[in-house]
Amino acid sequence: MEQTKANVETGSASSDDYQKVEKQYNCDECIAAKELPATMVCNDCSIYLCEKHVDYHQESKATHLHKLTSALDIQSDENTNLMFKRSRYVKKNAKECNFHPSQITDLYCTNCKSIVCQECHSAKSHFGHSFQRLFDCWETVVEAGLSSLQAAKEKVEFLAEGVEKVKNYRLYLDQQHQIMQADILNEYNSLKEKLEVELKEYQVKLQEEFKKTNDLYDLRIKELKTSSHNVDEIKGRIQELLDSKDTVHLLTGLPTINNDFANVCASIPTPEIEWNDNCGYPSMYIKKRREMPLLESSISTGICMKETELVSYGFKPDNIKNQLSIDKILPVEEGDECLDRALFTWAIDDWETLKQTTTVYSPEFKCNGFTWYSRTDN
């Protein structure tokens, strides 16, 4: 590639340059201050020679075999004159070979279309190629060089156009980036303002709810204190009646005490029941059996059974495992009056009726220690 570039630079002149090379036909071997008119030309060296240097040329061991021609004949024949001028121009403007710096490029490889030296001619890279003397095919070399230069120029223009497009696209991307950055910043500020407003509103609501809850808590504490005070008062009145040995006073005062005690019990706040749909039982324990009917609507679709020991209800462990598909039996803790005990009681009370039907209870899933048995009607 470097060799081709150098060759193009060597052959980049036009045919008009040949006419500019020679202005006077003086001897090329004479000193500049003592130049004599040329009488002969050496076709091998492509130089003009005066009579004195013609003798030197013919007597020199290196040049005595060179072919000499009359300078007048060269000038009279236009084609011969042009060829000679080309040869002189090539040799004067020849460059060193890029691969062999000690050699001058004076050959043209028609296969590689490149200017080479004598050592390149015998190199393996040019094996089998055909060569011409550079001054014999100078017009072809010039034409090839101009063509290469034109192609290179077009490629450079194409690349320059591409670079300009890339610059414009980069500018466009920078503008779009600034626009997007501004949009994102505006959106962020808008969301931030909305969040700040919503946060303030939520804080106000929380403060209001906290105040309501706190007020309700204070009210409940006040009611409990009042109820406790009333209970203590009733307790004192009962003790007075017990200490008194007046039977009439005891009988007349007891109904009043009972009525006051009932009012105190009614004034004590009761916990609210929150239903838990995940496992089918309230989140708070119910200790009053009279509240059980509230749960019968869910119990009627299945039995929510905890894996506890049912032997205390009259069932044998083997029967329990076979009928209810219980994997293991856990002991019931003393004083356990929570909802699962009430559910067991309700289910066992009606167990004889369930056994006579075609209803089958199969385990579905477990949740918080409970096993849900779904009902299937055969």
Quick: pLDDT tens for 70-103: 877 776 666 666 667 666 666 666 677 888 877 8
Max avg pLDDT among 21-25, 64-68, 303-307: 64-68
Q: Lowest mean pLDDT of 42-46, 139-143, 167-171, 366-370, name the range.
A: 366-370
292-301 pLDDT, tens per residue? 332 332 332 2
Length of the chain: 378
Mean pLDDT of the chain: 66
Task: With cut-offs at 50, 70 and 90, classify the pLDDT of residue 158.
Answer: very high
List, in sequence order, the alpha helices (H) in the chain.
Answer: 2-10, 16-21, 51-59, 71-76, 78-93, 118-121, 138-243, 247-267, 296-299, 317-324, 339-349, 351-355
Q: Could you please report the per-residue DSSP string of 224-260?
A: HHHHHHHHHHHHHHHHHHHH---HHHHHHHHHHHHHH
Compute the distance between CA of residue 104 and CA of residue 216 in angstroms, rounded to an integer.
111
pLDDT attached to residue 169: 92
pLDDT attached to residue 251: 66
Is 111 among the domain residues? Answer: yes
Is 142 among the domain residues? Answer: no
Domain-ending residue, one of 136, 155, 180: 136
362-375 pLDDT, tens per residue? 444 443 444 444 34
Tokens at 112, concatenated: 């590689």
Whether residue 130 sits in one domain with residue 6 = yes
Whether residue 125 sits in one domain with residue 156 = no
Whether the per-residue pLDDT at 163 is higher than 80: the answer is: yes
209-236 pLDDT, tens per residue? 888 888 887 887 887 777 777 777 877 8
Whether the per-residue pLDDT at 342 is higher than 60: the answer is: no
Own/partner pairs, 182-187, CB within 8 angstroms, 24+ separation: none
Domain-ending residue, one of 136, 163, 194: 136
Residue 369: domain span: 275-377
Whether residue 113 sits in one domain with residue 21 = yes
Residue 304 near residue 275 (C-beta atoms within 8 A): no
Compute the distance between CA of residue 49 and CA of residue 66 in angstroms, rounded to an integer.
12
